[in-house]
C-alpha cells in the first residue's frame, strides 16, 4: 500500500484539443483558393481581360478562401482526455475508445515533449508542440505498458493530475545519497515526519543537513499547493466552502499573501545560500499556518458569511450539481450542470462570491462536456 498519500476521491480531467484531418483539408482548400485568386489576377491581366472580369473573378476566389478559412475556425476540434479518480486513470480520444488502468498498477509518471507530431492511434496520444504525460503501468502478464498522453502544461487540471499520479507511486528508496527534491506537483498531502519542529536551515550543522531541511520545506510547500488545488479543481467545493478561495475573506487573503511570499522565495534547486534557504523555509512555515487558518475558517463558516439570498442560491446550485453528478442521463446532466453554472456566474458578476478562474473553468468544463455528450 502506498504510504505517501491516499488518492483524492474527486475526479479531475484535463482536455487537450488538436486539429483533425478535416481541419487540415479545409485549410489546404482555403490556401488553394487564395493562390488561385492571385494566379488568376496575373493571368487575366496578361491576357488583357476587362477590369470587371478580373475584379469579379479574383474577388470571388478570395471571398471563397476567406469563407473556407472562417469555416475551419468554427469546426469542432478533436480532443484527448485524461482523467484520474480515486483508483483509476482513464485516457483516450474524446470521440473514441478510452483506456483505463488501476492506479495501483502505475509504476512511473513524468512529463515529456513537446511532441513532434500529432498522433491519436496506438500508445502515443500526442499533439504536436504540446507536452505529454509518460505513464507506465504493470500488466497482469508481468510486462509494462507505456503510454504518452498530451496535456496543456499551463492547465491547472493537468498539474493536479500529475501530482495525484506521482503521489500514488511507491516511495523511492534512497541508499547512500540524499534524494533529489521533486518540483511542483510531485507530492501530495502532508509529507512524512520530518525534522523536529523548530529545526532551521540557518542552524544546520552541515550542508547536507541544510539541504535535507530545504527539501522538507519543498515537500510541505507542495503538500499545501495540492491541498488548495483540490478546492480549486472541484466545483462542489466552491458551492460548499466558497470562503476558502474568496480573497475578500481575511483568512483567505492572508493565505494568498503567504503563498505569494513562499512562491517568490522558492527555487528549482537548493540555492546554495543558507540565508535564502532559511528565508524560504520560514515562509513555508508561515504559509502552513495561514493555510490551516484559511481552511479551518472556510469549513466552519460554509456559506453563512454571505447574505441569506446568496446562501440560498448557492445551496440550490449545489443541489443541482449533485443531482447532475448522480444522474446517468446526459441530457439531464447537461441541464442541471448548466443551471448550476448560471447561478454561480450571476453570483460572481454581482460580487457576492469571488471564485478564482480555475474554479470557474472547472465548472464550465463539466457543463460543456455534459452538453457535448448529448450531441
Same-domain check for residues 272 and 312:
no
Q: Higher pLDDT residue, 33 or 252?
A: 252
Q: Which pLDDT belongs to residue 191?
A: 38
Q: Is residue 185 part of a domain?
A: no
Q: Are residues 266 and 323 in the same domain?
A: no
> Is the pLDDT assigned to residue 335 strictly greater than 50?
yes
The predicted structure's pLDDT at residue 185: 36
- Residue 87 is given by DSSP the state S
Closest CA to 12 of 283, 229, 300, 288: 229
Q: Are strands 132-138 and 124-125 parallel, antiparallel or unpaired?
A: unpaired
- What is residue 49's DSSP assignment? -
Task: List own/partner pairs for 338-346 with CB under 8 A and 24 or more apart.
Answer: 338/367, 338/370, 338/371, 340/235, 340/239, 340/367, 341/367, 343/313, 343/314, 343/316, 343/317, 344/238, 344/239, 344/314, 344/317, 346/313
65 vs 24, 33, 69, 242, CA distance in Å? 14, 5, 6, 49
- Domain assignment of residue 170, yes or no: no
Whether residue 195 is predicted with pLDDT greater than 90 in this model: the reply is: no
> Quick check: is 195 in a domain?
no
- Is the bond preceding residue 157 a cis peptide, omega within 30 degrees? no
Domain range enclosing 149: 12-18+77-153
pLDDT in the model for residue 198: 57
Q: Report the predicted TM-score, pTM, of the whole model to 2 decimal places.
A: 0.48
Q: What percent of the chain has pLDDT over 90?
A: 15
Query: Quick check: is 173 in a domain?
Result: no
Query: Taking residues 252-258, what's their average pLDDT?
Result: 93
Round to whole Å and give the CA distance between 264 and 371. 40
Instruction: Note the pLDDT of residue 170.
Output: 60
Q: What pLDDT, on the 0 to 100 scale, is given for residue 259?
A: 93
pLDDT-derived band at 358, boundaries 50, 70, 90: confident
Does residue 39 sit in the same domain as residue 100?
Answer: no
Closest CA to 233 of 150, 154, 294, 160: 160
**Range among 5-19, 56-70, 124-138, 142-156 with highest mean pLDDT value:** 124-138
Maximum average pLDDT range among 12-21, 72-81, 110-119, 283-292: 283-292
Task: Cell 501530495: give the residue.
Answer: 188
Residue 341 has a pLDDT of 85
Q: Are both 285 and 312 inside the same structural domain?
A: no
Encode pLDDT of 70-103 as tens digits.
666 666 778 888 888 888 888 988 777 788 888 8
What is the C-alpha separation between 63 and 33, in angstroms, rounded? 9
Domain membership of residue 235 (yes or no) is yes
Domain boundary among 243, 277, 301: 301
Are residue 66 and residue 108 in the same domain, yes or no? no
Q: Assign 356 a pLDDT band (cuts: 50, 70, 90).
A: confident
220 with 296, same domain?
yes
Tell whether 69 and 84 lie within a shared domain. Answer: no
- State the pLDDT at residue 73: 64
Q: Are residues 218 and 282 in the same domain?
A: yes
Nearest to 166 by CA among 4, 1, 15: 4
- Average pLDDT, integer, range 32-48: 81
> What is the mean predicted confidence (pLDDT) over 124-134?
86
Are residue 52 and residue 90 in the same domain, yes or no?
A: no
Least confident window among 114-128, 247-261, 298-312: 114-128
- Max mean pLDDT among 98-112, 118-132, 279-293, 352-366 falls in 279-293
Taken in order 31, 32, 36, 39, the sign of the CA dihedral is positive
User: What pLDDT, on a 0 to 100 scale, did the predictor assign at position 23?
Assistant: 65
pLDDT at 181: 38
Mean pLDDT across the chain: 79
Higher pLDDT, 331 or 278: 278
242 contacts 314 by C-beta, under 8 angstroms = yes
Q: Smallest Cα–Cα separation from 183: which of 148, 234, 226, 130?
A: 226
- According to the model, what pLDDT value does residue 75 have? 67
Residue ending a domain, among 286, 301, 316, is 301
The predicted structure's pLDDT at residue 68: 67
The domain boundary, picked from 119, 153, 187, lies at 153
Question: Is the pLDDT assigned to residue 178 strictly greater than 50?
Answer: no
Number of domains into which the chain is organized = 4
Residue 236 pLDDT more than 60? yes
| Residues with Cβ within 8 Å of residue 194, at least 6 apart in sequence | 216, 219, 220
Classify residue 347 by burial, with Cβ atoms within 10 Å: 0-12, 13-18, 19+: buried
DSSP E strands in 240-290: the ranges are: none
Q: How far apart are CA 191 and CA 221, in angstroms?
A: 9
- Is residue 104 domain-shared with residue 54, that is, in the same domain? no
Q: Is residue 106 part of a domain?
A: yes
- Is 289 within the bounds of a domain? yes
Return the CA Rg of the chain.
Answer: 26
- Here the CATH number for the domain that contains residue 112 is 2.30.29
Query: In this structure, are 335 and 357 located in the same domain?
Result: yes
Do both 215 and 264 map to the same domain?
yes
Q: Is residue 56 part of a domain?
A: yes
Of residues 159 and 304, more confidence is placed in: 304
Amino acid at each position: 500500500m502506498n504510504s505517501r498519500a491516499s488518492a483524492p476521491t474527486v475526479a479531475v480531467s484535463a482536455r487537450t484539443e488538436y486539429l483533425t484531418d478535416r481541419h487540415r483539408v479545409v485549410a489546404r482548400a482555403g490556401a488553394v483558393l487564395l493562390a488561385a485568386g492571385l494566379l488568376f489576377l496575373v493571368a487575366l491581366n496578361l491576357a488583357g481581360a476587362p477590369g470587371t472580369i478580373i475584379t469579379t473573378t479574383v474577388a470571388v476566389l478570395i471571398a471563397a478562401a476567406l469563407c473556407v478559412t472562417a469555416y475551419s475556425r468554427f469546426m469542432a476540434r478533436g480532443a484527448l482526455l485524461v482523467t484520474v479518480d480515486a483508483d483509476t486513470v482513464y485516457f483516450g480520444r474524446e470521440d473514441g475508445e478510452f483506456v483505463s488502468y488501476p492506479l495501483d498498477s502505475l509504476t512511473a509518471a513524468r512529463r515529456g515533449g513537446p511532441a513532434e507530431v500529432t498522433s491519436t492511434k496506438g500508445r502515443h496520444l500526442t499533439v504536436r508542440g504540446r507536452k505529454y504525460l509518460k505513464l507506465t503501468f504493470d500488466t497482469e502478464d508481468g510486462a509494462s505498458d507505456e503510454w504518452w498522453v498530451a496535456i496543456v502544461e499551463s492547465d491547472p487540471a493537468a498539474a493536479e493530475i500529475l501530482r495525484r499520479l506521482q503521489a500514488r507511486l511507491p516511495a523511492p528508496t534512497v541508499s547512500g545519497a540524499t534524494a533529489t527534491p521533486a518540483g511542483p506537483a510531485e507530492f501530495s498531502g502532508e509529507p512524512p515526519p520530518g525534522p523536529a519542529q523548530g529545526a532551521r536551515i540557518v542552524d544546520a550543522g552541515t550542508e547536507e543537513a541544510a539541504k535535507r531541511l530545504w527539501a522538507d520545506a519543498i515537500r510541505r510547500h507542495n503538500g499545501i499547493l495540492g491541498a488548495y488545488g483540490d478546492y480549486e479543481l472541484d466545483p462542489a467545493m466552491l458551492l460548499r466552502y466558497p470562503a476558502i478561495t474568496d480573497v475578500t475573506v481575511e483568512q483567505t487573503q492572508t493565505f494568498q499573501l503567504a503563498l505569494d511570499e513562499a512562491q517568490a522565495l522558492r527555487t528549482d534547486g537548493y540555492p546554495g545560500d543558507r540565508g535564502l534557504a532559511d528565508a524560504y523555509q520560514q515562509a513555508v512555515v508561515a504559509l502552513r499556518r495561514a493555510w490551516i487558518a484559511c481552511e479551518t475558517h472556510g469549513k466552519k463558516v460554509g456559506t453563512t458569511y454571505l447574505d441569506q439570498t446568496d446562501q440560498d442560491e448557492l445551496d440550490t446550485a449545489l443541489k443541482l450539481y449533485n443531482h447532475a453528478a448522480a444522474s446517468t442521463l446526459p441530457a439531464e446532466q447537461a441541464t442541471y450542470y448548466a443551471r448550476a453554472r448560471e447561478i454561480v456566474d450571476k453570483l460572481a458578476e454581482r460580487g457576492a462570491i469571488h471564485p478564482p478562474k480555475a474554479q470557474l473553468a472547472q465548472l464550465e468544463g463539466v457543463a460543456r462536456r455534459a452538453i457535448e455528450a448529448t450531441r
